């Protein structure tokens, strides 16, 4: 029929103009406000599958005290697992937690709740994925390798800056690489942003983690992947970072604004990418176990050639808050050590392409990268 022929022509015409923009998954629910952790029980209740399907709380062991435990809305066989955040999260650690939970409970948990900084949030995301997917955590390090939805999972950041509460990745140290489980199933189903948690964060940790957020903004806003979506979030996050780290504002206002800066910065890189500082810090973390926040700072101070305005602001922020970075981190490394760091870093191709463009390999050679590491 003539109508059918017209429809076929329209379908062919439409398909020839098909785009390939990212269909980005966002956190569907978030609550923000001082003391909003108290709403967790009401939020979890409708998600409970049965009395035999517990909620598992993965919590930074900093909160292993009676005051915190009294606030956790435990029911039936729910469990709190306290975990040290002194080291970067590892694939083997995820596998051990998954095995422990599967062995202890007859039913899959109703959900996983992460309470802490980037380490605990990444562990919660990874465990929720592996409980519903076969294999080991290292099998999913990469982009879009997860095929089944994660269990219901909630993120409750207790420090601001990592952006882990909103990202589609969970960065893990594996046997061969430091790389995230980047997937549409990684983002949290629910996030609770309670600024009160950050009242007890030590000054240097506050600064290093806040700089992770600031560097997210710099790398996103100067990258080749920049678009209107990532730019709008990045610019807002940058504005908030400047207010927090350069202006004189109250502690309460600072806590609120840094938590919002972290959220917006995480959204910015989710729809673009990070860059050189993050690529290099992954090498430091893999070889030397350097924590992510301070690792970014150690690297970023030497990247004025690539991020002149960002490094200038970074130096002003360090001066204002009296931060002195350690030196000589790479002074005693062997050539083999440098080779490991360089290979780990250069393996993160999307980060380098965002920073330097498609021809990045001719710009950042292994020799040039090693020379940058030697400055740290």
Question: What is the distance between the alpha carbons of residues 142 and 132, in angstroms, rounded to a whole number?
Answer: 18
Give pLDDT, residue 72: 97
Q: For the chain, which residues make up each domain, given as ranges? A: 29-200, 203-373
Residues 6+ apart with CB under 8 A from 324: 318
CATH number of 29-200: 3.40.50.1970
pTM of the predicted structure, to 2 decimals: 0.93
pLDDT at residue 110 in the model: 98
What is the share, in percent, of the chain residues with pLDDT greater than 90? 93
Chain-wide mean pLDDT for the chain? 95
- Give the whole-number percent of the chain exceeding pLDDT 70: 96
Whole-number CA gyration radius for the chain: 22
SS3 of 365, please? coil
Token readout for 207 is 């600064």
What secondary structure does DSSP assign to 256-321, as a single string? Answer: HHHHHHHHHHHHHHHTS---HHHHHHHHHHHHH---HHHHHHHHHTT-TTT-HHHHHHHHHHHHHH
Indicate if the pLDDT at residue 14 is higher than 80: no
Write the CB contacts of 183 (distance below 8 Å, at least 6 apart in sequence): 129, 140, 143, 144, 145, 146, 168, 169
Per-residue pLDDT reduced to its tens digit, 16-49: 678 988 788 899 999 999 999 999 999 999 999 9
Two tokens, residue 312 = 């200038």
Q: Using CA atoms, how far apart are residues 199 and 361, in angstroms rounded to an integer? A: 44
CB atoms within 10 A of CB 39: 14
Q: C-alpha distances in angstroms, 86 versus 89, 216, 290, 296?
A: 9, 22, 10, 17
CA dist., res. 352 & res. 310, Å (int): 17
pLDDT in the model for residue 200:
92
Pairing type for strands 171-173 and 178-182 reads: antiparallel
Residue 59, CB half-sphere, CA atoms under 13 Å: how many? 17
Distance CA 243, CA 237 (A): 10
Instruction: Place 354 in a pLDDT band, splitting at 50, 70 and 90.
Output: very high
Q: In this structure, are residues 272 and 220 in contact, taking their beta carbons and an 8 Å threshold?
A: yes
Convert the pLDDT of each residue in 192-249 to its tens digit.
999 999 999 999 999 999 999 999 999 999 999 999 999 999 999 999 999 999 999 9
Q: What would the CATH number be for the domain defined by 203-373? A: 1.20.1090.10
């Amino acid at each position: 029929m003539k109508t059918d022929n017209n429809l076929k022509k329209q379908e062919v015409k439409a398909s020839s103009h098909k785009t390939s923009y990212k269909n980005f998954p966002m956190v569907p629910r978030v609550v923000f406000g001082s003391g909003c952790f108290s709403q967790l029980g009401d939020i979890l209740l409708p998600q409970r599958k049965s009395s035999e399907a517990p909620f598992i709380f993965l919590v930074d062991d900093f909160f292993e005290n009676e005051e915190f435990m009294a606030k956790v809305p435990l029911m039936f066989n729910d469990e709190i697992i306290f975990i040290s955040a002194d080291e970067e999260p590892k694939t083997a650690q995820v596998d051990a937690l998954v095995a422990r939970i599967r062995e202890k409970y007859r039913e899959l948990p109703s959900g996983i709740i992460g309470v802490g900084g980037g380490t605990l949030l990444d562990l919660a995301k990874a465990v929720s994925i592996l409980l519903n997917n076969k294999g080991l955590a290292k099998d999913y390090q990469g982009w879009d390798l997860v095929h089944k939805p994660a269990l219901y999972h909630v993120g409750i950041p207790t420090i601001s800056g990592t952006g882990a509460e909103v990202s589609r990745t969970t960065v893990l140290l594996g046997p061969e690489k430091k790389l995230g489980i980047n997937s549409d199933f990684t983002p949290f189903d629910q996030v609770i942003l309670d600024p009160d948690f950050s009242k007890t964060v030590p000054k240097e940790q506050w600064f290093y983690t806040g700089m992770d957020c600031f560097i997210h903004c710099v790398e996103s806003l100067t990258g080749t992947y920049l678009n209107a979506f990532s730019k709008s979030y990045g610019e807002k996050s940058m504005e908030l970072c400047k207010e927090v780290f350069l202006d004189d504002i109250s502690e309460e206002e600072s806590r609120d604004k840094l938590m919002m800066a972290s959220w917006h910065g995480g959204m910015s890189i989710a729809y673009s990418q990070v860059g050189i500082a993050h690529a290099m810090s992954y090498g430091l973390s893999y070889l030397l176990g350097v924590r992510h926040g301070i690792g970014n700072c150690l690297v970023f101070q030497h990247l004025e050639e690539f991020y002149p305005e960002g490094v200038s602001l970074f130096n002003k922020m360090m001066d204002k808050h009296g931060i002195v970075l350690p030196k000589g981190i790479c002074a005693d490394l062997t050539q083999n050590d440098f080779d490991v760091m360089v290979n780990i870093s250069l393996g993160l191709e999307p980060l380098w392409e965002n920073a330097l463009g498609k021809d990045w390999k001719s710009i950042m050679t292994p020799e040039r990268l090693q020379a940058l590491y030697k400055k740290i």
